[in-house]
Structure 1
Amino acid sequence: MSSYKVFKHPEKGFEAVKSGFAWFAPFNPFWPLFRGLWMLFISYIFVILIITSIDYIFYGFEGYIDIANADDFQLIFLIIQITIFVYPGFKGNNWTALNLQKKGYIFDCSIEADNKKEALIFVTSSKT
């Protein structure tokens, strides 16, 4: 079972957001689009383009790092890249919750459920 934060909107009803790690967010630049996080999507694409440009400068058209022969700067840059790509997994569900609050949703409760649909069914049935 997972923990879900449930938000309520006066007209739109309930929405649930899983607490914890967002497993689809890392290495997936389109994940923010499915959550309605447009500015995050634009920022993420911009960062990916910058990282890709730097990779092209370092490694040319092949685009891969030879870890055994890499210098310190290349290894540090690799660690920075991995951190940038994994970071949305740690913060993604919080960003989704904040986006819902900006849209007028109010935190209602936290609930344990197997999935988002089950959490919403349980909350709507207990509120009626």
Structure 2
Amino acid sequence: MRQYNIYDHPFRRVEAVKQGWSWPAFFFSWLWAAIKGLWGILFGFILLQILLLVIWDALEIPAINLFDIFIQVALSFVFGLKGNAWREEKFLSRGYLYADTITAANSTGSIALYINKNRKQANNRDEPHD
């Protein structure tokens, strides 16, 4: 079971973001950023890649070298560490509000638990009290 932060928006669907390390972001950095709509992160990554190619070319260093491999692995670690936080920042900047932290097997399950929990709370408020 994993912990997910739930983000709710009055006009958009509920979103869940897993807490901690992101394996998909680690392994598929730029592709993951594109799929998740993290355009600033994606363009920054692409610009850094172009800058590295220009530097390697100017220094007449082969494009694939030990230092470049180290940089690529380091970037993958940054994506793995910060990926979920970047998603949370994206949701907050688009008007989502942090709603809850739910423990569940996956993000779909965490959203379902959040919706059911809110439904029960709403039903309890609507019941007449004697």
**TM-score range, shorter-chain basis?**
0.7 to 0.9
Q: 1:111 aligns with which of 89, 94, 102?
A: 102
Q: Which has the higher contact order (CA 8 A, sep 6+)?
A: 1
Shift of 1:29: 1.1
**1:11 pairs with 2:2:** no
TM-score by length of 1: 0.80
Give unpaired runs (5+ residues) of structure 2. Answer: 120-130
Aligned pair count? 117
Asked if 2 retains the 8 angstrom alpha-carbon contact of 1:51 and 1:81, the reply is no
**1:100 pairs with 2:101:** no
Task: Provide the residue aligned with 1:45 in structure 2.
Answer: 46
Per-residue CA deviation, residues 42-82 of structure 1 (Å, 9 max, x unaligned), is 00111122223334545426x233xxxxxxxx5xx654443
Q: In structure 2, give the amino acid aligned to 1:3.
A: Q
Per-residue CA deviation, residues 2-54 of structure 1 (Å, 9 max, x unaligned), is 11000110111311000001111125212111111111110011112222333
Shift of 1:98: 0.7
Give unpaired runs (5+ residues) of structure 1. Answer: 66-73
Q: In structure 1, give the amino acid aligned to 2:76.
A: F
Q: Distance in 2 between matches of 1:82 and 1:58?
A: 22
Shift of 1:85: 2.9
Q: What is the identity percentage for the equivalent residue pairs of Structure 1 and Structure 2? A: 26
Say if 1:111 and 1:60 are closer, same or farther in 2 by CA, change over 3 A: same
Q: Distance in 2 between matches of 1:16 and 1:110?
A: 9
Structure number with bigger Rg: 2
Write the mapping of 1:23-102 to structure 2, written as runs, cut at 5 A.
23-27=23-27, 28-56=29-57, 57=59, 59-60=61-62, 63-65=64-66, 74=67, 79-102=70-93
Task: Provide the residue aligned with 2:125 in structure 1.
Answer: none
Say if 1:43 and 1:92 are closer, same or farther in 2 by CA, change over 3 A: same
Q: Distance in 2 between matches of 1:55 and 1:113?
A: 46
Higher helix share: 2
TM-score by length of 2: 0.79
Q: CA RMSD in A?
A: 2.0
